[in-house]
Amino acid sequence: MLIAAKAGWFAAAFICITVLPWWEQGSWGRVTSWPLEGGPTLASHFSTWDAALYLKIAHGGYLAGTGICAFYPLWPGLIRLGSLFTGGDLFWSGLILANLFSLLGLVQFYRLVGEQHGTSAARWALALLLVFPGAIFLHLIYTEPLFLWLSVSCLRHLLRQQYLPAGLYAYFMPLTRAVGVFVLLVFFLQLWRSRRGWREYAYLLLPLGGYLSYFGVMWYFTGNALEGFAAQKHYPNQPSIDNLLNVGQAIRGLLNIGEFHGGLNSAVDRLHYVLFAQALVLVWRMDERYFAYALLVGGVPGLTHIYWSYPRLMMMAFPMFIALAVYLREGLARWVLWYLVALMGTLQLYFTALYVHNRWAS
């Protein structure tokens, strides 16, 4: 099923490239594209926007005072390492690793849901995740595949009270994405809920060590451990944790709709945030550990980024897919699931067409 889903997505992407060639006119060069020299190639369709920037970091590292310092180091580091097996080709290294990690993450996700809620819920939850609009980035050179694998694996081991492997996965989460540091709070909640001895709280040092390692990497490359935070000023929405306290800005941003989908005023981004807030109610009814993870990983970035690229950010709050599957899979409510699958699948095809022609799809 997973291999077929990936093959189907790439087939759809190639159809979009060949059937909609007019979308390509004037699109290249507005952002960093890959390869760095020469004109666009077939590979360029699958390595635009952030993917090109990750490849650029893998190629030459970080440069102080530039926007690429806002990106976290584990993913480009793995791309560079993987290029040892692809003859130095960073693009194929990134694409192969992205699809490998997403397969691992999706398998872990299916097993997690199956163990906790049964096979029927696991199938529906997996289907919802696969057709979600932001799921196009599970096939591309973005951090989503790696972070999905790390976070699902961490949570699965936490729920099974296997704290050492959970801690090892948690170590790498803050090195992959900024929200990875929130695993500290979820880890603490699980330990407290299970009434573990104080010695076992030492496992919290693993994700904390991962966060400190991130600062060490940034200091090594740029001479400033906080360079990643300073780099946020290079982006139009200027993501910041301070935005969480600005209620007026959150409300104004939610109402700032100027186009169907774009960067700063996307109706699609804001609709996804509203849907996420509603899904949180179901997540809370199901499990407070799921709720803590979803709220931190899905809710916080929406406000700090002022809803920028929200479908992609929202996808990492995977407990919402579990909750929808658990509560809507039986009776007449199943029609709601079918409606969501059809709607999200259609929107994913639209996102695919946008992305492969270097248009805004995040």
**Per residue in 203-229, pLDDT tens?**
999 999 999 999 999 999 999 999 999
The parent domain of residue 72 ranges over: 2-31+44-356
Does residue 187 belong to any structural domain of this protein? yes
Does residue 125 belong to any structural domain of this protein? yes
Does residue 36 belong to any structural domain of this protein? no
CA distance 146 to 144: 6
Does residue 276 belong to any structural domain of this protein? yes
pLDDT at residue 2, as a whole number: 87
Which percentage of the chain shows pLDDT scores above 70?
A: 96
CA distance 32 to 37: 11
Query: pLDDT digit string (tens) for 164-182?
Result: 999 999 999 999 999 999 9
Does residue 25 belong to any structural domain of this protein? yes
Does residue 64 belong to any structural domain of this protein? yes
Torsions phi, psi for 35 (to 5 deg): -70, 165
Q: Residue 93 is encoded by which pair of tokens?
A: 């290294």
Question: What separation in angstroms does the CA of 273 have from each of 142, 227, 291, 310, 316?
Answer: 21, 29, 15, 7, 13
Query: pLDDT digit string (tens) for 83-107?
Result: 999 999 999 999 999 999 999 999 9
Query: pLDDT digit string (tens) for 222-259?
Result: 999 999 999 988 887 777 787 888 888 888 988 989 89
Angle at 95 between CA 71 and CA 271, to 5 degrees: 60
Sign (positive/negative) of CA torsion 27, 29, 31, 33?
positive
Number of compact structural domains in the chain: 1
Does residue 362 belong to any structural domain of this protein? no
Does residue 178 belong to any structural domain of this protein? yes
Residue for token digits 């490359």? 221
